[in-house]
Amino acid sequence: MWECWKSLFVQVLDKHASLKTRRVRKRGSVPWINKDIRKTLFERDFLKRKAIKTNEESDWNKYKSSRNSANIACDKQKDNTRLHHKIPKSQNQSKIKHASQTINDILGRINNVNTIDEIKHSGKFVSSSEELKEISMNISQI
């Protein structure tokens, strides 16, 4: 009888109160968060709670201003800790170019250069550079 009740109870719990998994980062795992950033984020959260509680326009404006400044501060700090600032600059620019190409290859960044060989203008295809220049001049005069 106990086993039957327990299995029914566990089924109800699984259906209505299922376990949720959350990813928790350990403190200090994000390199761009420092004391100043934490302070601005805390102030932003405090002002949001206050604005929700009072629902006044002035509190919402203070919160929005704080949110914007916190986002700007976070973006600046992230940019300062990114990889391209960590690569040392040297006299030999080819080494830097090669390093950036290697990093882009690893990250899967591809530079696609699209060139236009011909365009359709007034029902006919134009491919010579002189005709293309002439068409662009005519369009710019309009």
What residue segments make up the domains of the chain, in order of their start? 31-109
Higher pLDDT, 85 or 14: 14
| pLDDT over threshold 90, residue 96 | no
Higher pLDDT, 70 or 139: 70
How does pLDDT run across 123-142, given as a tens digit for each residue? 777 777 777 777 777 766 66
Higher pLDDT, 1 or 114: 1
pTM of the model: 0.45
Do residues 73 and 79 touch, judged by C-beta distance below 8 A? Answer: no
Least confident of 24-28, 30-34, 72-76, 84-88: 84-88
| pLDDT over threshold 60, residue 92 | no
Band (pLDDT 50/70/90 cuts) for residue 89 is low
CA atoms of 31 and 61, how far apart (whole Å): 30
Least confident of 11-15, 61-65, 115-119, 126-130: 115-119
Task: Give pLDDT, residue 141.
Answer: 65
Cβ contacts of residue 36 below 8 Å, gap of 6+? 73
Q: What would the DSSP string read from start to end of the chain?
A: -HHHHHHHHHHHHHHHS-------PPTT-STT--HHHHHHHHHHHHHHHHHHHH--HHHHHHHHHHHHHHHHHHHHHHHHTSHHHHSPP-S-HHHHHHHHHHHHHHHT----------EEETTEEE-SHHHHHHHHHHHHH-
